[in-house]
Amino acid sequence: MLIIKTIDAIQEHLGRCRDQGKTIALVPTMGGLHQGHLQLIDKAKSHADVVVASIFVNPTQFAPLEDLSNYPHRPEADKKGLMGRGTDVLFLPSVEQIYPKNQISGYEVGEIALLLCGKSRPTHFKGVAQVVSRLFDIVEPDVAVFGEKDYQQLQIIKQLIERQKRKITIATIGIVREDDGLAMSTRNKYLNTKERVLAPNFNQALRQAKSDYLGGMALNDVISRAKDSLGKPFELDYFEMLDANTLTQITTSSTDVIVISAVKLGLNRLIDNIVFRRLNV
């Protein structure tokens, strides 16, 4: 596995790969890798000849009071995991490489960024779009691979590619979970013992909401029951059931539904979702 830290070096290397007719897949990460991240590498290997993983803790997607300084930093473990999965290139740029002086940062992400996580984190998705766009400019991948846990982010990136008219295929993997149903996350390690025992109740609330909805319960009652089931110690950010293709209200023409939520458990913010097909549509 090559470890490359500068734009000039990675573009030179990938240029040689393209001259050999090889296709390139990009897996953008912020490090603190777990099995979910490593399954992204597996997906990338099935779609392209050369797999590039990037690790860059992006400052523009953190608000002033968020945990940028505390974000997990374990480069040696990350390198070992990526190498063991067959990653070809690890791109480790500095902030100066990604955001040189006078870098224009006017990234419009549309109305979708104002929903759900965007309500409590109003600058987050602008920062995500900014860094993803920069990585696309640098790597010029044929394929980019993302997980479906960050579902809203995934939809924003798809819109970004369409808006910028990029010829990049998006490949995804479903949410990778612990044995008890908790969605894998870099931040799960910060849950204390009591919180870790309670954390799977979050996914249980989503699964119950899906069951209630498919069983014919009225939508408002489904959501109300789910919110009540969480209760303390979960601090609810949002709990919604929406059209999975648009993240807008469910209509008679909606075919796929997403139950999607974010909560705070202790000092940790957890997100999760379940996508399913409506019955009798």
Tell me the per-residue pLDDT of 250-259, one tens digit each, with 9 for 90 and over. 999 999 999 9
Report the pLDDT averaged over residues 148-175.
96
Check residue 106 and give its pLDDT. Answer: 58
The answer to whether 279 touches 125, Cβ cutoff 8 Å, is no
Domains and CATH numbers, the chain: 2-173 (3.40.50.620), 186-275 (3.30.1300.10)
The pLDDT mean for the chain works out to: 94
pLDDT grade, residue 281 (50/70/90)? low
Check residue 67 and give its pLDDT. Answer: 66
| Cα 222 to Cα 213: distance, rounded to the nearest angstrom | 6
Can you tell me which residue has the tokens 């890798």?
33
| Cα 58 to Cα 99: distance, rounded to the nearest angstrom | 10
Report the pLDDT averaged over residues 261-265.
97
pLDDT grade, residue 101 (50/70/90)? confident
Report the pLDDT averaged over residues 11-15.
98
Check residue 104 and give its pLDDT. Answer: 56
pLDDT grade, residue 56 (50/70/90)? very high
Check residue 279 and give its pLDDT. Answer: 77
- Is residue 15 scored above 90 in pLDDT? yes
- Is residue 125 scored above 80 in pLDDT? yes
Report the pLDDT averaged over residues 80-85.
97
- Is residue 169 scored above 60 in pLDDT? yes
Instruction: Return the active site residues.
Output: 37
- Is residue 71 scored above 90 in pLDDT? no
Strand bridging mode 268-277 / 256-265: antiparallel
**Among the listed residues 90, 96, 172, the one whose alpha carbon sits nearest the alpha carbon of residue 139:** 90
- Is residue 64 scored above 90 in pLDDT? no
Report the pLDDT averaged over residues 183-189.
94
| Cα 159 to Cα 15: distance, rounded to the nearest angstrom | 27
pLDDT tens digits for range 103-120 = 655 577 888 999 999 999
- Is residue 171 scored above 80 in pLDDT? yes
| Cα 277 to Cα 272: distance, rounded to the nearest angstrom | 17
Chain centroid to CA 210: 22
**Among the listed residues 177, 182, 208, the one whose alpha carbon sits nearest the alpha carbon of residue 265:** 182
pLDDT tens digits for range 129-139 = 999 999 999 99
The answer to whether 216 touches 184, Cβ cutoff 8 Å, is no
Check residue 102 and give its pLDDT. Answer: 60
